[in-house]
């Protein structure tokens, strides 16, 4: 029990920078939710139960267009497919004896940044460390939405724009430390960036959703890296899955 509490405290501490970044981005979501006519309760409920800004921002537009529930569900599935890959990667870091209910709860808190921090932990991942990350990151995301809704149009447009890119810096901070000590990982990150840019510029991919682009990039780069640079035993900085998925650079850089 004492060990679990220590792991939770460590996770909570490591999740504070994530929470600060989430607060800035979800604040912008709260402003947009207010403009879309949502009440504070509705906006907060969306942030608390979804934890995906890409999906949440898209949902506002879909609500405004009065789409069907099927269209909404299909859009969210495509946008958030990458979390299936991240969950599979994290499941390999959990001990085989971890019960299903732990895995079920942990799956709710899988975001790009939480994944990036958790997958870089050496050794097996204690569920309570992940709970600690969620305990600080999720309130940061939810509170940001709440204050964004109640703030209305108080803040100038320039400040709102600045807040919307705060998470980019935090995500870069997640991948830079392990990349500095591993040349192969550095090369994979750079390749991920260039390939992502290439996919964005190609006309043929302009009609492919951002979420599906991430799936294609992840499979392509992860497969190539696994074939060319197979890992021998436990990685010291990040697991093999983290090497491929974390630096895949989502186009929005959001949770």
Residue 236 has what pLDDT? 46
- The answer to whether position 48 is within a domain reads yes
Contact 140, 23 (CB under 8 A): yes
pLDDT computed for residue 57 by the predictor: 79
The pLDDT tens digits for 158-209 are 776 666 666 566 667 667 777 787 888 888 888 888 888 887 787 777 777 6
How far apart (Å, rounded) are the C-alpha atoms in residues 253 and 190? 16
Predicted local confidence at residue 245, as pLDDT = 42
Q: How far apart are CA 210 and CA 250, in angstroms?
A: 8
Instruction: Give the DSSP letter of residue 105.
Output: H
Is residue 253 one of the residues assigned to a domain?
no
What pLDDT is attached to residue 166? 60
CB 1 within 8 A of CB 117: no
What is the predicted pLDDT for the residue at 250?
A: 42
Would 21 be classed as within a structural domain? yes
Low-confidence ranges of the chain (pLDDT < 70): 1, 152-153, 157, 160-171, 173-174, 209-212, 214-215, 231-255
In a domain, 231, yes or no: yes
Rounded Cα distance, 198 and 157, in Å: 31
pLDDT reported for residue 210 = 64
HSE, side-chain direction, 13 A CA sphere, residue 120: 24
Q: What is the pLDDT of residue 152?
A: 64
Please state, in angstroms and rounded to a whole number, the distance separating the CA atoms of residues 245 and 63: 30
Cα–Cα distance between 16 and 22 in angstroms, integer? Answer: 10
Of the candidates 174, 190, 193, which has an alpha carbon nearest to the alpha carbon of residue 237?
174
CA quadruple 212, 209, 190, 17: dihedral sign? negative
Residue 170 lies in a domain: yes
Q: How many residues does the chain have?
A: 255
Radius of gyration in angstroms for the set of CA atoms belonging to the chain, rounded to a whole number? 18
pTM listed for this prediction: 0.67
Instruction: Specify if 195 maps to a domain.
Output: yes
Whether 131 maps to a domain, the answer reads yes
132 vs 15: CA distance, rounded Å: 7
Domain that holds residue 60: 2-248
What's the domain count of the chain?
A: 1
* Phi, psi at 91, each rounded to 5°: -65, -30
Residue 254 maps to a domain: no
């Amino acid at each position: 029990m004492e060990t679990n509490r220590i792991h939770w405290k460590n996770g909570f501490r490591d999740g504070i920078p994530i929470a600060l970044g989430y607060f800035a981005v979800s604040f912008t979501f709260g402003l947009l939710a207010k403009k879309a006519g949502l009440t504070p309760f509705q906006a907060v409920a969306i942030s608390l139960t979804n934890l995906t800004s890409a999906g949440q921002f898209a949902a506002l537009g879909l609500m405004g267009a009065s789409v069907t529930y099927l269209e909404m569900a299909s859009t969210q599935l495509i946008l958030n497919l990458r979390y299936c890959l991240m969950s599979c990667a994290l499941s390999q870091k959990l001990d085989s004896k971890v019960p299903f209910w732990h895995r079920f709860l942990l799956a709710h808190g899988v975001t790009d940044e939480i994944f990036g921090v958790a997958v870089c932990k050496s050794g097996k991942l204690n569920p309570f460390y992940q709970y600690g990350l969620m305990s600080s990151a999720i309130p940061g995301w939810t509170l940001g939405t709440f204050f964004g809704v109640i703030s209305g149009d108080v803040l100038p447009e320039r400040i709102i724009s600045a807040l919307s890119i705060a998470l980019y810096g935090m995500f870069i901070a997640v991948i830079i430390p392990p990349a500095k000590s591993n040349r192969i990982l550095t090369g994979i990150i750079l390749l991920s960036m260039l390939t992502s840019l290439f996919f964005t510029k190609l006309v043929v991919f302009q009609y492919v959703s951002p979420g599906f682009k991430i799936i294609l990039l992840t499979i392509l780069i992860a497969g190539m890296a696994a074939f060319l640079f197979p890992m021998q035993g436990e990685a010291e900085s990040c697991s093999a899955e983290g090497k491929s998925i974390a630096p895949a650079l989502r186009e929005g850089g959001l949770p």
